[in-house]
Amino acid sequence: NPYILLLDQKVSTVQPLVPVLEAVAHTGKPLVLIADDVDGEALTALILNNLKGSIKVVAVKAPGFGDRKKEMLEDIAILTNGEVITEQLGIKLEKVNDTSKLGT
């Protein structure tokens, strides 16, 4: 039963992910990260954390394109009882420091 983090943005740096990764790591549960894309430093950090065993993370590219992508992320959020982290609604990823906005 992993936590599910839904993002409508690309993640290239690890810094915005740190608070939520720490919160999930304290629970001992794995994390499924669904985002537009994960690359660069963020991808490297997720791989290293997986290899060290500090947190199990799977990054998945968000399904769909354009408005359809947003609708699909919202559907996943409803099904998992989570929220889509989107700056359009004023929710910044770096402000997510607990598991309350994550689906399960």
**Residue 9 domain-assigned (yes or no):** yes
pLDDT in tens, 23-71: 999 999 999 999 999 999 999 999 999 999 889 999 999 998 888 999 9
pTM for the complete prediction? 0.92
pLDDT given at position 103: 96
**Residue 102 domain-assigned (yes or no):** no
pLDDT in tens, 82-96: 999 998 888 899 999
Q: How many domains does the chain have?
A: 1
Strand partners, 10: 37
**Residue 20 domain-assigned (yes or no):** yes
Range of the domain at 60: 3-95
- The single-letter DSSP state of residue 89 is G
Lowest-pLDDT range, 19-23, 76-80, 91-95? 91-95
pLDDT given at position 57: 95
pLDDT given at position 87: 83
**Residue 103 domain-assigned (yes or no):** no
- CATH number of the domain that 37 lies in? 3.50.7.10
**Residue 104 domain-assigned (yes or no):** no
Distance CA 31, CA 23 (A): 11
CB atoms near residue 4 (< 10 Å): 21
**Residue 30 domain-assigned (yes or no):** yes
